Amino acid sequence: MSRFAAFALAVAAGAWCVAGCASAEDANTGGERDLSAPLAPDDLSAGDLAHDGGVPAISCGAGLHVVINEVQVGSAASASDEFVELYNPCAVAVDLAGSTLVYRAATGVADIVVISLTKPIAAGGYYLVTGPTFGDLGAPDQSYGAGHFAAAGGGVGLRDGAQLLVDSVGYGSATNAFVEGAAAAAPPNGQSIARKPNGTDTNHNEVDFVAATPTPRAAN
């Protein structure tokens, strides 16, 4: 049975959650399977879950999930001038309560919890999480009290309430499990790494993210 056929049967049976759910494959792999990771070619027929490989929340449509959209790892003003911007490409709001942003050092094998999230993210909206010395204008959705992100390389992940990896990005010298494809280039001082075009997710960090002038809570 194809992955798409199994998905259709699950929907017909009403055995599906509305947000933050994962496939049976994810449940059987200890939570390390990225919900956005591509499937093998023989697992997909034309048009089936073409955007991403993970089985999404039904309300988000095939292949859509909240993404890590932009990351700043410091600025000329302060090494702790950090932020992570999430973007919701879904047509409905997604409740992020119980989800966590986590970090791994470039060669790290264990998560460092940056912050537990507490709010929903609107359909087509942004969720801004900032470090202790955030220097841009505008109020964040949440802030954390200590800097975490190394300038030369690391990885940022978004885990859902079941601690499954929803999305991640590795940058610079990162070789950890948060790298999708190959790591994005580390941002120059004062710049961020941002998905271009906004929200694009091909599961290749080196393609999806480019160095950019920071645009927290706005399209890249």
Q: CA 109, CA 131: separation in Å to the nearest integer?
A: 23
What single-letter DSSP state applies at residue 185?
P
Q: What's the predicted TM-score (pTM) here?
A: 0.75
Q: 61-119 pLDDT, tens per residue?
A: 667 899 999 999 977 677 778 999 999 999 889 999 999 999 999 999 999 999 999 99
pLDDT of residue 190: 85
pLDDT of residue 11: 34
Q: Which whole number is the average pLDDT over 134-160?
A: 88
Instruction: Answer yes or no: are the C-beta atoms of 186 and 172 closer than 8 Å.
Output: yes
Domain 67-212, CATH 2.60.40.1260 — does that match?
A: yes
The domain locations on the chain are: 67-212
pLDDT of residue 137: 65
Nearest Cα to 127, choosing from 188, 213, 209, 68? 68
Using the predicted structure, report yes or no on whether residue 208 has a pLDDT greater than 90.
yes
pLDDT of residue 135: 73
In three-state secondary structure terms, 212 is: strand
Q: 21-62 pLDDT, tens per residue?
A: 333 223 333 345 444 443 333 332 333 333 343 434 444 666
Q: 166-200 pLDDT, tens per residue?
A: 999 999 999 999 999 999 999 998 899 999 999 99
Instruction: Answer yes or no: are the C-beta atoms of 63 and 38 closer than 8 Å.
Output: no
Long-range contact list for 26-30, CB < 8 A, 24+ apart?
Answer: 26/54, 26/164, 27/164
Using the predicted structure, report yes or no on whether residue 211 has a pLDDT greater than 80.
yes
Using the predicted structure, report yes or no on whether residue 2 has a pLDDT greater than 50.
no
Instruction: Answer yes or no: are the C-beta atoms of 36 and 167 closer than 8 Å.
Output: yes
